[in-house]
Amino acid sequence: MKSKDENPTWVVPASIQRTMDHPVSVVPPGPDNPLGAYRIRLSIDVYAIHGTNDPWTVGRLTTHGCIRLYPEDIETLYPLVDKGTPGEILYQPVKFGEAKGRIYVEVHQDVYQMYPDLEAYAFEVLAQSGLGARVDSEQLRTAVRGKTGVPIDITLGAAVVPKPTVNIVHEHVPRRRRLALL
């Protein structure tokens, strides 16, 4: 983490100005500022973690590269990190988790097309997780095809039903797919 700003001013990049109906070069702090009330700048200059004035955009492919958080989440995170705090940005279109003895998979679209065979990748990550013996392979295939971005119970004998939250128990990302934030 490079720096933090409360009530940041957004200097709009020229590339974004070209996409605006009414281009502006600067957006001052306030309700019209898409950065929200807090911004955490990362060592990769084009990225930041920030709030938003439009919460429905959180978690969607509507950003220009930043990581948007709900206003209440960035307000919680902001005081917990200091300049120099290390971190990583991980690209994980497939995640496995376990909650109350059930195994879940969350599959997202491979928007960066890093995995030519997402199903094969899912089974590779599953094998590395050590959870494979407890998983219904056909339900995993169905979840990979669906790419809903919602955790799906894939425990042997379970119906395929979306679940809202799980604890991540395995987060494997090949080394070449990591971006260090120093």
Torsion on CA atoms 179, 40, 30, 68, rounded to nearest 10: 40
Amino acid at 156: L
Question: What gap in Å lies between CA 157 and CA 134, rounded to an integer?
Answer: 9
Catalytic residue among 66, 108, 170, 172: 66
DSSP for residue 149: S
Catalytic residue among 22, 50, 64, 170: 50
CA-based angle 42:52:40, to the nearest 5? 20
Per the annotation, the verdict on 22 as an active-site residue is: no
DSSP for residue 30: S
Per the annotation, the verdict on 50 as an active-site residue is: yes
Enumerate the active-site residues. Answer: 50, 66
